[in-house]
Structure 1
Amino acid sequence: MSESIDTGITLSAGDVGRPERAEQARRLLTLLMETERAIYRDPDIASTYLNQAISLLTVTRHNKTPYKPRGGLASWQMSRIDKFINNNISNSIRTIELASLLSLSPSHFTHAFKQTTGMTPLVYVAAMRVKAAQQFMLCSTRSLSDVALSHGFCDQAHFCRVFRRETGLSPQTWRKLYASNA
């Protein structure tokens, strides 16, 4: 299963605020992992899982309605927030700091941010930290503890909890599946 397959599902930093895309990717990954486990044990079940995955991909490919949040923050505001988060990924990032970047009160900022992304600023920051950690783990053999601390998590346990919540996998399992140097 090391071949690259064009699934039609591509996730980017902009998809962090699109929970339906992350859920589709998680569901697809689960189906494919179950297929791999069942392929020798019970080919009929493996075939069922594979058909479900194909159905999910077909629905995803044909459901191309653009995501347009109502109200919320402007794209330039989100760009400013993203740039700040990326530049400070290893530091503590508080909602009040993000709000002050846009000269908004923390309350107004949180409401507008959630309206734009579908999540709170702190959940978004955590998701961005996980994405950055994933990119880092693709080309690094540093310990998970080092990865956690260098990406703004207070410790490895916190990193593992957030990583699993975001990806459905532990960092160690993810690294074994995707990193070429693991």
Structure 2
Amino acid sequence: MAQIEITGEPSTDLVRHAPALVEHPTVPIEPSRWEGLLPWQARRVRDYVDGDLGGRLSIRTAAERAKLSPSYFSRRFRQSFGVTFSRFVALRRIEHAQSMMIRSTTSLCQIALACGFTDQAHFTRTFGGMTGSTPSQWRRTAMVRGHQAEAVGSC
């Protein structure tokens, strides 16, 4: 077996000069100019979410649509939309539910299931957390406002 003789310790020079390298890097670090999803990625993800609000939406599938890894997609999605993917999905589901509540007399349970919530209790909790009222309170208020607007407009 051959013996290797080390006469000096090269690592000590690196350690001794490391603070200078950190303070004065040889390559300037530039901030990234590109943040968030590209327009085509954002459009594909939004279409995916809006196209299947009643189904099981996954971040993995959304990331595949954007051609990114799930973890990288999560960071870029938040930079683009200002919320996490799951929060975005919940917001879109609530918006869809509100639209259904105004346009039809469908029961809240059926609306909850149509919008991808597991049951009416889950729908009510999520709705209350985002709007500050229960779905039935919101529906009554929206109907009253709608009728008042029609009455005012007809006078």
TM-score by length of 1: 0.59
What SS does structure 2 have at the residue aligned with 1:142? coil
TM-score by length of 2: 0.68
Paired with 1:125 and 1:160, the residues of 2 have a C-alpha distance of: 16
> Aligned ranges for residues 95-174 of structure 1 at < 5 Å?
95-174=59-138
Describe the superposition over 1:12-42 as per-residue Cα deviations: whole angstroms up to 9, x where unpaired: xxxxxxxxxxxxxxxxxxxxxxxxxxxxxxx
Q: Number of residue pairs matched?
A: 112
Which structure 1 residue ranges, 4+ long, deviate > 2 Å from structure 2?
Answer: none
What SS does structure 1 have at the residue aligned with 2:104? coil
What SS does structure 2 have at the residue aligned with 1:148? helix
- The residue number in structure 2 matching 1:29 is none
> Aligned ranges for residues 1-182 of structure 1 at < 5 Å?
71-179=35-143
Paired with 1:169 and 1:76, the residues of 2 have a C-alpha distance of: 35
Paired with 1:103 and 1:176, the residues of 2 have a C-alpha distance of: 43
Superposition deviation, residue 118 in structure 1: 1.8
Percent identity over the alignment?
Answer: 37
Paired with 1:170 and 1:75, the residues of 2 have a C-alpha distance of: 35
Q: Which consecutive unaligned segments of at least 5 residues does structure 1 have?
A: 1-69
Matched-pair contact (CA < 8 Å) for 2:112–2:118: yes
What SS does structure 1 have at the residue aligned with 2:35? coil
What SS does structure 1 have at the residue aligned with 2:72? helix
Give the AA of the match of 2:49.
I
Superposition deviation, residue 84 in structure 1: 1.1
Structure with more relative contact order (C-alpha pairs < 8 Å, separation 6 or more): 1
